[in-house]
Structure 1
Amino acid sequence: MNIIPIHQETPLSLIRQSIIEEYLSDVQTYPWIVTFSGGKDSTLVAHLVFEALLELPPSLRRRQVHFVSNDTLVESPLVVQHMRGTLEKILRAAEIYKLPVNGEVTTPKLSETFWTLLIGKGYPSPNRSMRWCTDRLKIEPTSGFIKNKVSESGAAIIILGVRKDESATRKASIESHQNIENSNLTPHSSLANAFVYRPIVDLSTDDVWEFLASHNPPWGGTHDSLIKLYREAAGGECPIVLSQDEAPGCGTNSSRFGCWTCTVVNKDKSLQGFVDVGKTEYQPLIEFRDWLVEIRNLPEYRQVERRNGTVTIKQGKHIPGPFTVEARQMILQRLLDVQTAYGNELITQEEIELIKQIWAQDLIQTYTRKNA
């Protein structure tokens, strides 16, 4: 691979210098939290931050850097495999180079996983008007990690790989947040004492790809697997989401690297892209996801009452409750059949056990209400 030196003055070299200066700024007691989804933008930020640390002498590497990724446990399989594999390489190399770097993959609580809520409690498949998944699977796990670091150090700085060039919505969101005077930092909209640094905010998509294609990652290897991932999926990424302000970037047709179970989008273009290039093992997952969309509003699969026993009427129209226990049992059995056909775990035994406990509790409550 032809490696183009970054030492000449280019937009990327200026960004890396800005990262170094920001790292050495007066607030070195506050840790950095680099959000890493494994997509192109977060990979570029991880690359530049890692290189910046390597350029500094050990005596100046006083600020702790945490790489945090999020796994909803229903991520697109190839994407989560790539994310976890790359994060392992980053952390292994950081240990070899003795960099002040560690990392963590956040996941939802057992009681808040996609399957616990959908199959256990009967939540209807998410759609644009009822997107219960983003907060529980993405926002809460990563926000919890950040809050812990803020509690330990008094404040924390989140490094985001977001760019104005991603979409008009993203540009408007970025421009709605004003930097602190004479600073590159912006107060986070919902996390107290957390500040946001967006080093690649003004780069174009072409800038990102040109750099990744011509520079090997400082943790070793190449970015070829990332490039291949995008080429095969023909998709964009669903980045780390930290607040409801950023939630529209998840579950939209312009952000296609998301959960394989996502019923918010009309079609899972990334997973279909993998099937189209010969990875047919993902076809059962696509069919299951499409089936979840089909059964969502069928009245025979939904309870009349909500989980608290009330009946909801809005504007003269009945709003159905969760999936019936019988429908949830049917969904679980079909998921287990898909898991067998796919050949890899899609739902854990711990989730199944909790789901069955929830079913038992729901049946007891229903019986009690009817016989009260």
Structure 2
Amino acid sequence: MSETTSLSVLDQWHEIVNNVREEYLSTTQNYPWIIGFSGGKDSTLVAHAVFEALMTMAPSQRTRPVHVVSNDTMVESPLVMAHLDEVTYLIDEAGRGLDLPITVARTKPDPDKTFWVLLIGKGYPSPNSSMRWCTDRLKIQPTSTYIKENVSKHGAAIVVLGVRRSESIQRMNTINKYENVRGTQLTEHTSIPGALIYRPIVDLTTDDVWEILGSFQAPWGGTHQKLFQLYRDAEGGECPVVLSKEEAPGCGTKNSRFGCWTCTVVEKDKSLQGFIDSGKHAYKPLVAFRDWLVDIRNDPARRSAVRRNGRLTFDLTGKHIPGPFTIQARREILDGLLKVQEEFGATLITTEEIDLIHKVWATDLQTEESLAHA
């Protein structure tokens, strides 16, 4: 424990752990807990609190299953994914060793809804603030499916999130908008029937979170120092667990810097640039490729005149809205990505995605030929 740690914050932390324990042991329901775990500071603190609370209980009291669920968009920052892999492995191993009812899981987008299959295969234009097609397919749908499966199996599920009022005005307004279910600390999920939300650290400030993480050892072994270093190198912030379109603006804003290395919604990728500035120069090709995806988005020479349904589209002012990237542009993007992958020295696109991309191209070419001869 740090000598400089505020007693009030320590008291608050002990109160949180006790609160988590009481909520877990609630006799009104025994639905599974699903911790939305991004590997960032807030979700790490929530997992820490749950882990610590479980260790205070007798084995006979640990009847409620706890799922630690992280999401892999398949285009996450490689450094962030390496950290997430390491921490979830430690949580899984420690949970097994201590006989805790913890299941560690990882969700991914459906094979036909990955970033590269949609962008390179189907030609979806690079996401921007007005057309953020990525968040729903890469983040919301995979995690929501996991929650719905547990709701179906158990009748309901409780999603445990590390959201806090002080994160932003938008997050505070979202939290304050929903009242707790009568007599509980839970709120109803806005879009998943049968799912309830539990927010154990909702009243902590950012300073409180860091102070607690720096004051206590990670209960699954080791310290949180690698997390501290990750934030220092990336210049702070992470893209939080997103469970609804209402929360989607939390990704791709100047306030959330960890996330997909391909994110073209932000003006500048501060996390990757932070890694480069801290000496990790291998990330330069990724930043350059991401910037190129932004540059070519609205190039009329690289966009089809019609949408994928074959129709010309115009906005309310009569301005033409271009369709997807052309097949030629998609080939150009794939060739560029494969060159970056070779230079980077790690997988950025899977062989399964490439195979599916070629199948989509073949279908699109057949469609174009049919329309040309119609």
Is the 8 Å Cα contact of residues 165 and 204 (structure 1) preserved in structure 2? yes
1:42-65 deviations in Å (ceiling 9; x for gaps): 000000000000001111111010
Which residue of 2 is the match for residue 123 of structure 1?
Answer: 124
- CA distance 1:324–1:62, shift in 2 (3 Å): same
Is the 8 Å Cα contact of residues 9 and 208 (structure 2) preserved in structure 1? no
Give 1:2 deviation, angstroms. 4.5
Which residue of 1 is the match for residue 259 of structure 2?
Answer: 258
CA–CA distance in 2 between the matches of 1:120 and 1:277? 35
Secondary structure of the 1:67 match is: strand
- CA distance 1:183–1:312, shift in 2 (3 Å): same
Which residue of 2 is the match for residue 212 of structure 1?
Answer: 213
Unmatched 5+ stretches in structure 2: none
CA–CA distance in 2 between the matches of 1:166 and 1:14? 21
**Equivalent residue letter for 1:240:** V
Secondary structure of the 2:246 match is: helix
Which residue of 1 is the match for residue 184 of structure 2?
Answer: 183
Unmatched 5+ stretches in structure 1: none
CA–CA distance in 2 between the matches of 1:8 and 1:236? 22
**Equivalent residue letter for 2:253:** T
1:319-358 deviations in Å (ceiling 9; x for gaps): 0000000000000000000001100000000000110110
- CA distance 1:263–1:271, shift in 2 (3 Å): same
1:247-300 deviations in Å (ceiling 9; x for gaps): 010111100001000000000000000000100000000000000000000000
CA–CA distance in 2 between the matches of 1:362 and 1:345? 26
Q: Indicate the percent of aligned positions where both proteins have the same amino acid.
A: 58
Secondary structure of the 2:218 match is: coil
Is the 8 Å Cα contact of residues 284 and 342 (structure 1) preserved in structure 2? yes
Is the 8 Å Cα contact of residues 28 and 62 (structure 1) preserved in structure 2? no
1:1-23 deviations in Å (ceiling 9; x for gaps): 75879999711111111101100
Report 1:232-251 matches (<5 A). Answer: 232-251=233-252
**Correspondence for 1:331 among 321, 330, 333:** 333
Which residue of 1 is the match for residue 314 of structure 2?
Answer: 313
- CA distance 1:6–1:344, shift in 2 (3 Å): farther
Cα RMSD, aligned residues only: 1.5
Report 1:48-87 matches (<5 A). Answer: 48-87=49-88
Report 1:269-280 matches (<5 A). Answer: 269-280=270-281
* TM-score, normalised with respect to structure 2: 0.97
CA–CA distance in 1 between the matches of 2:349 and 2:271? 21
Give 1:181 deviation, angstroms. 1.6
Give 1:182 deviation, angstroms. 1.8
Which residue of 2 is the match for residue 141 of structure 1?
Answer: 142
CA–CA distance in 2 between the matches of 1:309 and 1:186? 44
Give 1:214 deviation, angstroms. 1.1
1:75-124 deviations in Å (ceiling 9; x for gaps): 01111111121011001000000001111010001100000000000000
CA–CA distance in 2 between the matches of 1:61 and 1:171? 32
Is the 8 Å Cα contact of residues 187 and 194 (structure 1) preserved in structure 2? yes
Secondary structure of the 2:187 match is: strand
What stretches of structure 1 move > 4 A for 4+ residues in a row?
1-9
Is the 8 Å Cα contact of residues 10 and 212 (structure 2) preserved in structure 1? no
CA–CA distance in 1 between the matches of 2:9 and 2:314? 65
Which residue of 2 is the match for residue 343 of structure 1?
Answer: 345
Is the 8 Å Cα contact of residues 35 and 68 (structure 1) preserved in structure 2? yes
Give 1:316 deviation, angstroms. 1.1
* TM-score, normalised with respect to structure 1: 0.98
Is the 8 Å Cα contact of residues 9 and 212 (structure 2) preserved in structure 1? no
Is the 8 Å Cα contact of residues 34 and 67 (structure 1) preserved in structure 2? yes
CA–CA distance in 2 between the matches of 1:357 and 1:310? 22
CA–CA distance in 2 between the matches of 1:151 and 1:29? 14
CA–CA distance in 1 between the matches of 2:123 and 2:27? 50
Report 1:92-171 matches (<5 A). Answer: 92-171=93-172
Secondary structure of the 1:175 match is: helix
